[in-house]
């Protein structure tokens, strides 16, 4: 069951960089796409519990650049709700395709994104091992490749 929470557009000054870094450990990378992204905050009561960054590549393609739910609020349906919100928002803004990328080791995220309707369309081999200084290991798997998922909306 999905919990009741509200989602609103915020400014980059209001964005919780610490929360965004739970999805992308590279702060410089986050700052490089923050300026050009639509930033949405999920709130439950007066608490900020989630964040979503939507980026327009062009008129037809939007990308979820970052999605994160605060640890204490995970596994309650908020992540799925943010994905559904992103799909509706991208459609409302005229996009025809929505993209999201993750790592080969992010098994839970791959599950969640496919459950939300995304399809794996491409693998960028050695993306993470070539770009990040230290190895990233999740679920006992080396995060090596970038997995790109897309959805026609
Ligand atoms: C990924 C994330 C946003 C999901 O948010 P969430 O609120 O926990 O997601 P939901 O509760 O909507 O999860 C929906 C389903 O996916 C599963 N799931 C979500 N994230 C998972 C994970 N990391 N590992 C295993 N399963 C996961 C849930 O168990 C649930 O399954 P169910 O519907 O069959 O019960 C959240 O785990 C998070 O912020 N992680 C850290 C940041 C991150 O990794 N961002 C994405 C980078 S690509």
Picking from 92, 42, 46, 93, the residue whose alpha carbon sits closest to that of residue 66 is: 42
Total residue length of the chain? 153
Ligand 1 atom nearest to 69, measured from its CA: 39
pLDDT in tens, the chain (153 residues): 544 899 999 999 999 999 999 999 889 989 999 999 999 999 999 999 999 999 999 999 999 999 999 999 999 999 999 999 999 999 999 999 999 999 999 999 999 999 999 999 999 999 999 988 889 999 999 999 999 999 999
Ligand 1 atom nearest to 81, measured from its CA: 12
Fold of 6-152: Aminopeptidase (3.40.630)
Give the residue, by CA position, lying nearest to ligand 1 atom 24.
108
Query: Strand 61-69's sheet: what is its strand order?
Result: 6-10, 37-44, 47-56, 61-69, 97-103, 146-152, 119-124
Distance 96 CA to ligand 1 centre (A): 25
List all residues whose CB is within 6 A of at least one atom of ligand 1.
Answer: 22-23, 67-69, 74-80, 102, 106, 108-109, 111-112
In this predicted model, what pLDDT tens digit does every residue of 21-45 receive, in sequence order?
A: 999 988 998 999 999 999 999 999 9
Q: What is the pTM of this model?
A: 0.94
Ligand 1 pocket test: pick from 75, 105, 106 the residue with the most ligand atoms within 8 Å of its Cβ.
Answer: 75
Task: Report the sign of the C-alpha dihedral through residues 27, 28, 33, 36, in that order.
Answer: positive
Ligand 1 pocket test: pick from 71, 86, 112 the residue with the most ligand atoms within 8 Å of its Cβ.
Answer: 112
CB 18 within 8 A of CB 24: no
Task: State the number of CA atoms in the 13 A half-sphere of 138 facing the CB.
Answer: 16
Extract the tokens encoding 134.
């230290």
Q: Report domain extents, the chain.
A: 6-152
Ligand 1 atom nearest to 80, measured from its CA: 12
């Amino acid at each position: 069951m999905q919990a009741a929470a509200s989602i609103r557009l915020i400014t980059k000054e209001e964005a919780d960089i610490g929360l965004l870094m739970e999805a992308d450990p590279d702060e410089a990378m986050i700052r490089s796409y923050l300026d050009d992204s639509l930033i949405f905050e999920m709130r439950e009561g007066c608490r900020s519990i989630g964040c979503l960054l939507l980026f327009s590549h062009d008129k037809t393609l939007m990308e979820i650049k970052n999605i994160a739910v605060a640890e204490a609020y995970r596994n309650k349906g908020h992540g799925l709700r943010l994905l559904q919100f992103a799909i509706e928002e991208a459609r409302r803004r005229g996009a025809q395709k929505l993209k999201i990328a993750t790592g080969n080791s992010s098994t839970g995220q791959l599950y969640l994104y496919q459950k939300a309707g995304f399809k794996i369309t491409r693998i960028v081999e050695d993306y993470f091992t070539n770009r990040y200084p230290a190895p990233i290991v999740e679920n006992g798997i080396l995060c090596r490749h970038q997995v790109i998922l897309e959805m026609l909306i």
